[in-house]
Amino acid sequence: MYQEFGISKEIEELSTKVEKDVESKMKEIEETCTQNSLKVLQAFQNNEIAEMHFGSTTGYGYGDVGRDTIEKVYSEVLKAEDSLVRSQFISGTHALTVTLFALLRPNDTLLSITGKPYDTLDEVIGIKENPSSLKSYSIHFEQIDLIEDEFDYKKIEERLKQGKVKVIEIQRSKGYSSRKSIGIEQLEKVIAFIRNIQKEVIIMIDNCYCEFVTTKEPLEVGADIIVGSLIKNLGGGIAPNGAYVAGRKDLINLVAERLTAPGEGKEVGPTLGINKSILQGLFLAPSVVASSLKTAVFASKMLEELGYETEPKWDAKRADIVQTIHFGDKEKLIKYCQGIQMGSPVDSNSIPMPWDMPGYTDQVIMASGAFTQGSSIELSCDGPIRPPYIAFMQGGLTYEYGKLGVLKAIQNMIG
Protein backbone atom coordinates (compact mmCIF):
# COMPACT_ATOMS: atom_id res chain seq x y z
CA MET A 1 0.00 0.00 0.00
CA TYR A 2 2.86 2.41 0.73
CA GLN A 3 4.29 1.77 -2.74
CA GLU A 4 0.89 2.51 -4.30
CA PHE A 5 1.04 5.88 -2.51
CA GLY A 6 4.47 6.53 -4.03
CA ILE A 7 6.54 5.69 -0.95
CA SER A 8 9.61 3.54 -1.60
CA LYS A 9 10.30 0.34 0.31
CA GLU A 10 13.40 1.96 1.85
CA ILE A 11 11.46 4.90 3.28
CA GLU A 12 8.73 2.55 4.56
CA GLU A 13 11.32 0.42 6.37
CA LEU A 14 12.97 3.51 7.87
CA SER A 15 9.59 4.71 9.13
CA THR A 16 8.98 1.37 10.86
CA LYS A 17 12.33 1.66 12.66
CA VAL A 18 11.67 5.29 13.60
CA GLU A 19 8.26 4.52 15.11
CA LYS A 20 9.86 1.98 17.43
CA ASP A 21 12.56 4.48 18.42
CA VAL A 22 10.05 7.17 19.40
CA GLU A 23 7.56 5.00 21.34
CA SER A 24 8.43 6.50 24.75
CA LYS A 25 7.91 10.07 23.48
CA MET A 26 4.57 9.14 21.96
CA LYS A 27 3.36 7.74 25.30
CA GLU A 28 4.42 10.95 27.05
CA ILE A 29 2.32 12.96 24.57
CA GLU A 30 -0.67 10.69 25.21
CA GLU A 31 -0.45 11.30 28.96
CA THR A 32 -0.54 15.07 28.43
CA CYS A 33 -3.51 14.60 26.11
CA THR A 34 -5.41 12.73 28.82
CA GLN A 35 -4.84 15.49 31.39
CA ASN A 36 -5.92 18.22 28.98
CA SER A 37 -8.97 16.18 27.93
CA LEU A 38 -10.03 15.95 31.56
CA LYS A 39 -9.67 19.71 31.93
CA VAL A 40 -11.87 20.35 28.87
CA LEU A 41 -14.50 17.79 29.85
CA GLN A 42 -14.79 19.28 33.35
CA ALA A 43 -15.23 22.78 31.87
CA PHE A 44 -18.01 21.52 29.58
CA GLN A 45 -19.78 19.83 32.48
CA ASN A 46 -19.26 22.67 34.98
CA ASN A 47 -20.83 25.09 32.50
CA GLU A 48 -23.66 22.64 31.69
CA ILE A 49 -23.17 22.62 27.94
CA ALA A 50 -26.42 21.59 26.26
CA GLU A 51 -27.89 21.53 22.77
CA MET A 52 -29.33 25.00 23.28
CA HIS A 53 -25.75 26.35 23.27
CA PHE A 54 -25.39 25.26 19.63
CA GLY A 55 -27.98 27.87 18.60
CA SER A 56 -27.33 30.82 16.34
CA THR A 57 -27.88 34.56 16.35
CA THR A 58 -27.81 37.14 13.56
CA GLY A 59 -27.64 40.91 13.36
CA TYR A 60 -26.36 42.41 16.60
CA GLY A 61 -26.20 39.06 18.38
CA TYR A 62 -27.83 40.26 21.57
CA GLY A 63 -28.41 37.59 24.21
CA ASP A 64 -26.41 34.83 22.51
CA VAL A 65 -26.31 32.32 25.35
CA GLY A 66 -24.12 29.92 23.37
CA ARG A 67 -21.48 32.57 22.70
CA ASP A 68 -21.45 33.73 26.31
CA THR A 69 -21.18 30.15 27.62
CA ILE A 70 -18.36 29.32 25.20
CA GLU A 71 -16.44 32.23 26.69
CA LYS A 72 -17.04 30.86 30.19
CA VAL A 73 -15.74 27.45 29.08
CA TYR A 74 -12.62 29.03 27.57
CA SER A 75 -12.06 31.05 30.72
CA GLU A 76 -12.20 27.91 32.85
CA VAL A 77 -9.91 25.90 30.59
CA LEU A 78 -7.33 28.69 30.32
CA LYS A 79 -7.69 29.82 33.98
CA ALA A 80 -8.77 33.31 32.91
CA GLU A 81 -11.01 35.88 34.60
CA ASP A 82 -12.71 36.43 31.26
CA SER A 83 -12.30 35.64 27.59
CA LEU A 84 -13.38 36.78 24.15
CA VAL A 85 -13.93 33.96 21.63
CA ARG A 86 -15.22 35.36 18.35
CA SER A 87 -15.55 34.51 14.68
CA GLN A 88 -15.22 38.25 14.02
CA PHE A 89 -11.48 37.77 14.54
CA ILE A 90 -10.14 36.90 11.09
CA SER A 91 -6.88 35.35 12.29
CA GLY A 92 -4.37 35.20 15.12
CA THR A 93 -2.68 38.26 13.64
CA HIS A 94 -5.98 40.13 13.71
CA ALA A 95 -6.59 39.17 17.36
CA LEU A 96 -3.07 40.30 18.28
CA THR A 97 -3.62 43.57 16.40
CA VAL A 98 -6.93 44.29 18.13
CA THR A 99 -5.36 43.48 21.50
CA LEU A 100 -2.36 45.75 20.96
CA PHE A 101 -4.54 48.66 19.82
CA ALA A 102 -6.84 48.05 22.81
CA LEU A 103 -4.05 48.12 25.40
CA LEU A 104 -1.80 50.87 24.02
CA ARG A 105 -2.30 54.63 23.75
CA PRO A 106 -0.25 57.40 22.08
CA ASN A 107 3.25 57.72 23.60
CA ASP A 108 3.00 54.30 25.29
CA THR A 109 5.81 51.79 24.78
CA LEU A 110 5.45 48.23 23.58
CA LEU A 111 8.45 46.05 24.42
CA SER A 112 9.02 42.64 22.87
CA ILE A 113 11.48 40.53 24.89
CA THR A 114 11.59 37.70 22.34
CA GLY A 115 13.12 39.78 19.55
CA LYS A 116 11.22 40.87 16.46
CA PRO A 117 7.68 39.47 16.38
CA TYR A 118 6.28 37.36 13.55
CA ASP A 119 6.50 38.89 10.07
CA THR A 120 2.75 39.58 9.79
CA LEU A 121 3.04 42.09 12.66
CA ASP A 122 5.69 44.22 10.91
CA GLU A 123 3.13 46.62 9.46
CA VAL A 124 0.93 46.44 12.55
CA ILE A 125 3.75 47.68 14.76
CA GLY A 126 5.33 49.98 12.21
CA ILE A 127 8.60 48.11 11.69
CA LYS A 128 7.52 48.34 8.07
CA GLU A 129 5.85 51.66 7.28
CA ASN A 130 2.06 51.67 7.20
CA PRO A 131 -0.24 54.65 7.86
CA SER A 132 -2.47 52.45 10.07
CA SER A 133 0.33 51.09 12.27
CA LEU A 134 0.86 51.56 16.01
CA LYS A 135 3.79 53.78 15.09
CA SER A 136 1.44 56.11 13.17
CA TYR A 137 -0.38 56.66 16.49
CA SER A 138 2.91 57.57 18.22
CA ILE A 139 3.13 54.23 20.01
CA HIS A 140 6.75 53.26 20.46
CA PHE A 141 8.17 49.82 19.87
CA GLU A 142 11.35 48.34 21.31
CA GLN A 143 12.75 44.84 21.25
CA ILE A 144 15.23 42.84 23.28
CA ASP A 145 16.63 39.79 21.55
CA LEU A 146 17.02 36.40 23.17
CA ILE A 147 20.53 35.20 23.99
CA GLU A 148 21.05 31.58 22.98
CA ASP A 149 17.32 30.89 23.35
CA GLU A 150 17.12 32.47 26.81
CA PHE A 151 15.73 35.83 27.91
CA ASP A 152 18.27 38.62 28.26
CA TYR A 153 17.54 39.33 31.91
CA LYS A 154 20.19 42.03 32.20
CA LYS A 155 18.77 44.11 29.34
CA ILE A 156 15.19 43.54 30.51
CA GLU A 157 16.07 44.87 33.96
CA GLU A 158 17.98 47.84 32.55
CA ARG A 159 15.11 48.81 30.26
CA LEU A 160 12.39 48.50 32.91
CA LYS A 161 14.41 50.67 35.31
CA GLN A 162 14.88 53.36 32.64
CA GLY A 163 11.21 54.21 32.44
CA LYS A 164 7.71 52.93 32.12
CA VAL A 165 6.79 50.25 29.63
CA LYS A 166 3.04 49.79 29.08
CA VAL A 167 2.98 46.32 27.48
CA ILE A 168 5.55 43.54 27.34
CA GLU A 169 4.89 41.15 24.47
CA ILE A 170 6.22 37.60 24.50
CA GLN A 171 5.86 35.45 21.40
CA ARG A 172 6.17 31.85 22.51
CA SER A 173 6.44 30.20 19.11
CA LYS A 174 9.53 30.82 17.02
CA GLY A 175 7.82 32.43 14.02
CA TYR A 176 10.16 32.45 11.02
CA SER A 177 13.32 32.38 13.14
CA SER A 178 15.68 29.55 14.02
CA ARG A 179 15.35 30.06 17.78
CA LYS A 180 13.70 27.63 20.15
CA SER A 181 10.14 28.24 21.26
CA ILE A 182 9.48 29.49 24.78
CA GLY A 183 8.55 26.80 27.30
CA ILE A 184 6.13 27.36 30.17
CA GLU A 185 8.95 27.11 32.75
CA GLN A 186 10.93 29.85 30.97
CA LEU A 187 7.81 31.95 30.88
CA GLU A 188 7.12 31.53 34.58
CA LYS A 189 10.68 32.52 35.46
CA VAL A 190 10.75 35.69 33.34
CA ILE A 191 7.29 36.83 34.49
CA ALA A 192 8.34 36.57 38.14
CA PHE A 193 11.50 38.51 37.28
CA ILE A 194 9.53 41.28 35.55
CA ARG A 195 7.03 41.58 38.43
CA ASN A 196 9.85 42.21 40.89
CA ILE A 197 10.89 45.26 38.87
CA GLN A 198 7.64 46.68 37.50
CA LYS A 199 4.40 45.22 38.87
CA GLU A 200 1.95 47.24 36.78
CA VAL A 201 3.30 46.38 33.30
CA ILE A 202 0.86 44.36 31.20
CA ILE A 203 2.38 41.04 30.13
CA MET A 204 0.80 39.85 26.89
CA ILE A 205 1.53 36.42 25.46
CA ASP A 206 1.20 35.41 21.81
CA ASN A 207 0.18 31.83 22.57
CA CYS A 208 -0.38 30.68 18.97
CA TYR A 209 0.66 27.06 18.34
CA CYS A 210 1.26 26.42 22.07
CA GLU A 211 -2.09 25.55 23.65
CA PHE A 212 -2.39 22.02 25.12
CA VAL A 213 1.22 21.15 24.30
CA THR A 214 1.74 20.97 28.06
CA THR A 215 -0.77 20.88 30.91
CA LYS A 216 -0.27 24.54 31.91
CA GLU A 217 -1.11 27.74 30.08
CA PRO A 218 0.54 31.20 30.49
CA LEU A 219 -2.19 32.74 32.68
CA GLU A 220 -1.40 30.07 35.28
CA VAL A 221 2.16 31.37 35.60
CA GLY A 222 1.35 35.08 35.90
CA ALA A 223 0.63 36.45 32.42
CA ASP A 224 -2.11 39.09 32.15
CA ILE A 225 -3.53 38.32 28.74
CA ILE A 226 -3.05 35.65 26.06
CA VAL A 227 -4.01 35.50 22.40
CA GLY A 228 -4.46 32.59 19.99
CA SER A 229 -6.14 31.48 16.79
CA LEU A 230 -9.01 29.02 16.39
CA ILE A 231 -7.59 27.65 13.13
CA LYS A 232 -4.64 26.51 15.20
CA ASN A 233 -4.63 24.37 18.35
CA LEU A 234 -7.85 25.17 20.20
CA GLY A 235 -10.07 24.99 17.13
CA GLY A 236 -9.29 21.29 16.85
CA GLY A 237 -9.57 21.37 13.06
CA ILE A 238 -13.33 21.95 13.38
CA ALA A 239 -13.70 25.71 13.99
CA PRO A 240 -13.78 27.33 10.51
CA ASN A 241 -12.27 30.63 11.65
CA GLY A 242 -11.91 32.93 14.66
CA ALA A 243 -9.57 33.56 17.56
CA TYR A 244 -9.59 34.04 21.31
CA VAL A 245 -8.21 36.51 23.82
CA ALA A 246 -8.24 35.54 27.50
CA GLY A 247 -7.02 37.02 30.77
CA ARG A 248 -7.80 39.83 33.18
CA LYS A 249 -11.41 41.02 32.98
CA ASP A 250 -10.53 44.72 32.67
CA LEU A 251 -8.20 44.00 29.75
CA ILE A 252 -10.72 41.75 27.99
CA ASN A 253 -13.27 44.58 28.23
CA LEU A 254 -10.82 46.89 26.44
CA VAL A 255 -10.22 44.32 23.71
CA ALA A 256 -13.96 43.70 23.28
CA GLU A 257 -14.62 47.41 22.86
CA ARG A 258 -11.87 47.65 20.27
CA LEU A 259 -13.27 44.67 18.36
CA THR A 260 -16.87 45.95 18.39
CA ALA A 261 -17.52 49.47 19.72
CA PRO A 262 -17.09 51.44 22.96
CA GLY A 263 -20.13 50.89 25.13
CA GLU A 264 -21.07 47.66 23.32
CA GLY A 265 -18.06 45.41 23.88
CA LYS A 266 -18.94 41.75 24.50
CA GLU A 267 -22.70 42.32 24.31
CA VAL A 268 -22.75 42.23 20.52
CA GLY A 269 -21.42 39.87 17.89
CA PRO A 270 -23.66 37.36 16.12
CA THR A 271 -22.46 33.76 15.99
CA LEU A 272 -24.14 32.87 12.68
CA GLY A 273 -24.24 29.14 13.46
CA ILE A 274 -20.60 28.70 14.54
CA ASN A 275 -21.15 27.80 18.22
CA LYS A 276 -21.29 24.05 17.74
CA SER A 277 -18.09 24.05 15.66
CA ILE A 278 -16.22 26.09 18.28
CA LEU A 279 -17.35 23.82 21.11
CA GLN A 280 -16.70 20.61 19.20
CA GLY A 281 -13.29 21.91 18.11
CA LEU A 282 -12.29 22.68 21.69
CA PHE A 283 -13.54 19.24 22.77
CA LEU A 284 -11.31 17.55 20.17
CA ALA A 285 -8.36 19.92 20.64
CA PRO A 286 -6.35 17.89 23.20
CA SER A 287 -6.39 14.86 20.90
CA VAL A 288 -5.69 16.87 17.74
CA VAL A 289 -2.79 18.71 19.37
CA ALA A 290 -1.41 15.34 20.50
CA SER A 291 -1.64 14.08 16.90
CA SER A 292 0.21 17.18 15.70
CA LEU A 293 2.95 16.61 18.27
CA LYS A 294 3.28 12.95 17.31
CA THR A 295 3.56 13.95 13.65
CA ALA A 296 6.30 16.44 14.55
CA VAL A 297 8.22 13.89 16.62
CA PHE A 298 8.02 11.35 13.77
CA ALA A 299 9.16 13.94 11.19
CA SER A 300 12.02 15.12 13.39
CA LYS A 301 13.37 11.61 13.87
CA MET A 302 12.93 10.65 10.20
CA LEU A 303 14.78 13.69 8.94
CA GLU A 304 17.46 13.36 11.60
CA GLU A 305 18.03 9.81 10.34
CA LEU A 306 18.42 11.23 6.84
CA GLY A 307 21.09 13.69 8.01
CA TYR A 308 19.13 16.92 8.39
CA GLU A 309 19.21 19.31 11.34
CA THR A 310 15.85 19.56 13.10
CA GLU A 311 14.49 21.71 15.91
CA PRO A 312 13.22 20.48 18.29
CA LYS A 313 15.02 17.15 18.28
CA TRP A 314 12.58 14.25 18.41
CA ASP A 315 13.11 13.61 22.14
CA ALA A 316 13.21 17.26 23.27
CA LYS A 317 10.61 18.92 25.48
CA ARG A 318 8.25 20.87 23.25
CA ALA A 319 6.57 24.25 23.71
CA ASP A 320 4.53 24.30 20.49
CA ILE A 321 3.47 22.14 17.55
CA VAL A 322 6.00 23.66 15.13
CA GLN A 323 8.77 21.48 13.73
CA THR A 324 11.61 23.13 11.84
CA ILE A 325 13.85 21.40 9.34
CA HIS A 326 17.06 23.08 8.21
CA PHE A 327 17.59 22.20 4.56
CA GLY A 328 20.27 24.75 3.66
CA ASP A 329 19.04 24.39 0.11
CA LYS A 330 16.28 26.33 -1.64
CA GLU A 331 15.18 23.47 -3.89
CA LYS A 332 14.94 20.95 -1.06
CA LEU A 333 12.77 23.36 0.95
CA ILE A 334 10.47 23.82 -2.03
CA LYS A 335 10.34 20.07 -2.80
CA TYR A 336 9.53 19.17 0.81
CA CYS A 337 6.67 21.68 0.97
CA GLN A 338 5.35 20.47 -2.37
CA GLY A 339 5.47 16.89 -1.03
CA ILE A 340 3.35 17.90 1.99
CA GLN A 341 0.78 19.26 -0.47
CA MET A 342 0.87 15.97 -2.40
CA GLY A 343 0.13 14.12 0.85
CA SER A 344 -2.88 16.29 1.71
CA PRO A 345 -6.59 15.44 1.42
CA VAL A 346 -7.54 18.70 -0.33
CA ASP A 347 -5.85 20.20 -3.42
CA SER A 348 -3.30 17.39 -3.49
CA ASN A 349 -2.89 17.96 -7.25
CA SER A 350 -1.88 21.61 -6.71
CA ILE A 351 1.79 22.57 -6.73
CA PRO A 352 2.65 25.35 -4.26
CA MET A 353 5.25 27.85 -5.44
CA PRO A 354 7.04 30.71 -3.67
CA TRP A 355 5.14 34.00 -3.95
CA ASP A 356 4.94 37.53 -2.55
CA MET A 357 2.46 36.83 0.22
CA PRO A 358 0.78 39.87 1.86
CA GLY A 359 2.31 40.69 5.24
CA TYR A 360 5.66 38.99 4.58
CA THR A 361 9.02 40.53 3.71
CA ASP A 362 10.41 37.62 1.66
CA GLN A 363 8.72 35.32 -0.80
CA VAL A 364 7.05 32.44 1.03
CA ILE A 365 6.11 28.93 0.00
CA MET A 366 3.06 27.52 1.77
CA ALA A 367 1.70 23.99 1.53
CA SER A 368 -1.69 23.46 3.12
CA GLY A 369 -4.12 21.01 1.59
CA ALA A 370 -6.56 21.79 4.36
CA PHE A 371 -10.32 21.73 4.84
CA THR A 372 -10.04 25.24 6.32
CA GLN A 373 -8.05 27.82 4.38
CA GLY A 374 -4.85 28.73 6.24
CA SER A 375 -5.44 26.18 9.01
CA SER A 376 -2.15 25.20 10.62
CA ILE A 377 -3.55 22.61 13.00
CA GLU A 378 -4.09 20.61 9.82
CA LEU A 379 -0.83 19.33 8.33
CA SER A 380 0.91 22.24 6.67
CA CYS A 381 4.43 23.37 5.89
CA ASP A 382 5.80 26.72 4.89
CA GLY A 383 8.94 28.80 4.90
CA PRO A 384 10.44 32.05 3.68
CA ILE A 385 12.69 31.77 0.65
CA ARG A 386 15.82 33.00 2.34
CA PRO A 387 18.93 31.32 3.75
CA PRO A 388 19.31 29.00 5.61
CA TYR A 389 16.12 27.70 3.92
CA ILE A 390 14.18 26.38 6.87
CA ALA A 391 10.84 24.57 6.60
CA PHE A 392 8.29 25.25 9.33
CA MET A 393 5.96 22.28 9.58
CA GLN A 394 2.98 21.98 11.88
CA GLY A 395 -0.30 20.20 12.35
CA GLY A 396 -1.83 16.82 11.66
CA LEU A 397 -5.49 16.16 12.50
CA THR A 398 -4.57 12.52 13.10
CA TYR A 399 -1.13 11.01 13.51
CA GLU A 400 -1.80 8.49 10.74
CA TYR A 401 -2.56 11.19 8.17
CA GLY A 402 0.33 13.30 9.45
CA LYS A 403 2.75 10.40 9.08
CA LEU A 404 1.63 9.74 5.50
CA GLY A 405 2.08 13.40 4.62
CA VAL A 406 5.60 13.45 6.05
CA LEU A 407 6.57 10.29 4.16
CA LYS A 408 5.24 11.77 0.91
CA ALA A 409 7.22 14.98 1.50
CA ILE A 410 10.43 13.09 2.21
CA GLN A 411 9.97 10.93 -0.88
CA ASN A 412 9.34 13.97 -3.07
CA MET A 413 12.44 15.70 -1.71
CA ILE A 414 14.88 12.82 -2.14
CA GLY A 415 13.35 11.55 -5.41
pLDDT digits (tens, 9 = 90+) for 265-288: 999 999 999 999 999 999 999 999
- Residue 340 and residue 325 in contact, taking contact as beta carbons nearer than 8 Å: no
Closest CA to 168 of 211, 217, 104: 104
Does 47-282 carry CATH code 3.40.640.10?
Answer: yes
Q: Which secondary structure element, helix H or strand E, spans residue 291, and what is its range?
A: helix 275-305
Q: What is the pLDDT of residue 161?
A: 96
> Domain extents for the chain?
9-37+286-414, 47-282
- Give the start-end residues of each E strand in 198-298: 202-206, 225-229, 243-247
Residues 6+ apart with CB under 8 A from 124: 93, 96, 97, 100, 130, 133, 134
Superfamily the domain 9-37+286-414 falls into? Methioning gamme-lyase, C-terminal domain (3.90.1150.60)
Give me the phi and psi of 21, to 5 degrees please. -65, -30
Rg, C-alpha atoms of the chain: 21
Q: What is the pLDDT of residue 357?
A: 82
Per-residue pLDDT of the chain in tens (415 residues, 90 and over written 9):
899 999 999 999 999 999 999 999 999 999 999 999 999 999 999 999 999 999 999 999 999 999 999 999 999 999 999 999 999 999 999 999 999 999 999 999 999 999 999 989 999 999 999 999 999 999 999 999 999 999 999 999 999 999 899 999 999 999 888 899 999 999 999 999 999 999 999 999 999 999 999 999 999 999 999 999 999 999 999 999 999 999 999 999 999 999 999 999 999 999 999 999 999 999 999 999 999 999 999 999 999 999 999 999 999 999 999 999 999 999 999 999 999 999 999 999 999 999 998 777 789 999 999 999 999 999 999 999 999 999 999 999 999 999 999 999 999 999 8
DSSP state of 391: E
The CA-to-CA distance between both ends of the chain, in Å, stands at 18
Beta bridge partner(s), residue 311: 324
